Structure 1
């Protein structure tokens, strides 16, 4: 059965069409802001995320069993790995190109301009709306038409959808439906006060409009020839549906946004961590970690070349180099913060990761001020693959292995590690 639906009508529905009432819309906006902040708080650092993306087997495959301390002598690489290295290079290039496209792309597609926008309301006679809908389908090859509604009455958009279906029962037999959108922003930007209003860009790129009942082709012709622009050329009607933007603004004015932002911040600071509490080291320690994994499936490059078969061992450090050193601390402990600062003063590129969230906003600001950089929250999978058992610790590449140095209680060290 072909008919209007909430998804079709609300193509450009504010807040994604999730809210049927004013308060629900505000709630959806706040939840979206909270989700965005939580996502930002979970970032582990540019290099670590690049490692996880480029080496899916590194954190997901079965770790090769070398015990808690890997042998000091690293295993030798296999002799002939040209095909593998080429495949890894292709994979890295594909990821880099995709990342570049995402960064360069606009945040959303611009609305089409070479169309005839028809602003309507259900206050118009049903016969007029139906006639415009049928004409739009008939002339769609010559005039692309978008119908725009300003909003909906309570209890929600489903009521609007039901009314549209009632006045256009032909939708059941049609293979297509007219393009109908809910977009209060366009109503406001075009300062639409009466319907129907027909709006289109002229040959000079300026928006022009005519108001009043007429056909779509006549409205397009008038705008194209500059006839009766801005004038009322036929019967016109007031807008029945409420301005959703105005309703949101009224609700937003009642909210204490400073308190709301603080609540969200505190929720992020005190939410359940993605990492875990690790023992605070009593004694210095140093050990090697082998990141080699046994593939649980075939791994192929962008061109389809399989560079690692299921059951084969792969060490990601054969194909990439870690240019950063990774510092793991409990940022709630002053000694750990001081140790991180000592390492930062010694090495140019470090990523600082806290195994537990900072307990308060004030403490977080204090830690950031002391270290002069962001402190990321850890991920339990990362702790397990890097075999971080105590903190504070620093992890860095040493040949084909990962070296982890741990500093015991009572010491803040500037020990030299390989660059």
Structure 2
């Protein structure tokens, strides 16, 4: 091997490998060179992607938060904010003091009584966390086989003085074992007057469940069923 060529090859050793068979230097890219080239290519690509494609203008739309604060300051300055607060408080008090009446319920025109069977059929098998069967699918269960409904439910219209008077008489006769439930009227006023809790059937969910169409109506347990009496006021 020629010494001069060896010395020359040693100076280029990171990038040249001597081919002893052919006697000529063979150029190979080192790992360092390849890595540097890759990083440079990525940096160039990234820089190109971040370049502006078209004209760039400053954002001129006002900040939404700033606009909201500006509007609130204007309302406070004109006194409108205080008026809104007062209206909100009054509307809230009104909805609590006198909720919207339950729809499709009238004062009893013709007394009637009927029974409701609370028996329930299980659509699926119910098990405990440890796998024990509580109820098999298809089983019929009557809750009144296991519990006693000790309180009666009395539904009435608090706007009708006759119904209010009848409700007071029933509550006294039952020695308080009655849950008074309004379908219209002012429950808080009656609560203060009677010094006992008076409820309101919000949205009419209970009267629909019991099928009540007329009030006053009394719901109570009768054997293994529930009885509903729609009474004349």
Residue deviations 1:252-296 (CA, integer Å, cap 9, x gap): xx85877653331113456656x4331211233332221112233
Is the 1:329–1:391 contact (alpha carbons within 8 Å) kept by the matching residues of 2?
yes
CA distance in 2, matches of 1:261, 1:333: 28
For the 8 Å contact 1:337–1:367, the answer to whether it is kept is no
Q: 1:403 to 1:302 in 2, by over 3 A?
A: farther
Aligned to 2:195: 372
Match of 1:390 in 2: 214
Question: With structure 2 as the length reference, what TM-score do the two structures score?
Answer: 0.54
- 1:311 pairs, out of 125, 138, 148, with 138
Hey, what does 2:125 align to over in structure 1?
Answer: 298
Q: Is the 8 A contact 1:291 1:385 kept in 2?
A: no
How far is the alpha carbon of 1:333 from its aligned partner?
A: 1.5
**Equivalent residue, structure 1, for 2:230:** 406
1:167-182 pair list within 5 angstroms = none
RMSD: 3.0
Deviations 1:42-84 (A, max 9, x none): xxxxxxxxxxxxxxxxxxxxxxxxxxxxxxxxxxxxxxxxxxx
Aligned to 2:107: 280
Q: Which runs of 5+ in 2 are unaligned?
A: 1-63, 67-80
Q: Please give the alpha-carbon distance, in whole angstroms, between the structure 2 residues aligned to 1:268 and 1:350.
A: 22
> Would you say the 8 A contact 1:354–1:377 is kept in 2?
yes
Work out whether 1:267 is the aligned partner of 2:95: yes
Note closer, same or farther for the CA distance 1:398–1:304 as it changes in structure 2 (3 Å cut): farther
| 3-state DSSP of counterpart to 2:218 | strand
Q: Deviations over 1:76-122 (max 9, x none)?
A: xxxxxxxxxxxxxxxxxxxxxxxxxxxxxxxxxxxxxxxxxxxxxxx
Counterpart CA distance in 2 for 1:301 and 1:346 is: 43
Choose the corresponding residue for 1:340, options 162, 167, 173. Answer: 167
Distance in 2 separating the partners of 1:322 and 1:387: 18
Supply the distance in 2 between the matched residues of 1:285 and 1:272 (Cα, whole angstroms). Answer: 26
| Aligned counterpart, 2:148 | 321
Unaligned runs of 5+ in 1: 1-153, 157-253, 410-419
> Could you state the TM-score of these two structures normalised by the residue count of structure 1?
0.32
Indicate how the Cα distance of structure 1 residues 330 and 309 shifts in structure 2: closer, same or farther if over 3 A, else same: farther
Q: What is the deviation of 1:323?
A: 1.4
The 1:271–1:355 alpha-carbon spacing in structure 2 relative to 1, beyond 3 Å, is closer
The residue aligned with 1:350 is 178
CA contact (8 A) 2:153 2:180 kept: yes
Instruction: Check 1:301–1:395 CA distance in 2 against 1; reply closer, same or farther (3 A cut).
Output: farther
Higher strand share: 2
Aligned to 2:5: none
Aligned to 2:227, the other structure's residue is in SS state: strand
The DSSP-based 3-state class of the residue aligned with 2:106 is: coil
SS of corresponding position for 1:332? coil
| Cα separation, 1, equivalents of 2:183 and 2:127 | 34
Whole-angstrom CA distance in 2 between matches of 1:299 and 1:277: 37
SS in 1 for 2:206: helix
The residue aligned with 2:54 is none
SS at match of 1:355: strand
SS of 1:310 mapped into structure 2: coil
In 1, Cα distance between the equivalents of 2:131 and 2:178? 35
Q: Does the CA-based 8 Å contact 2:115-2:225 persist in structure 1? A: yes
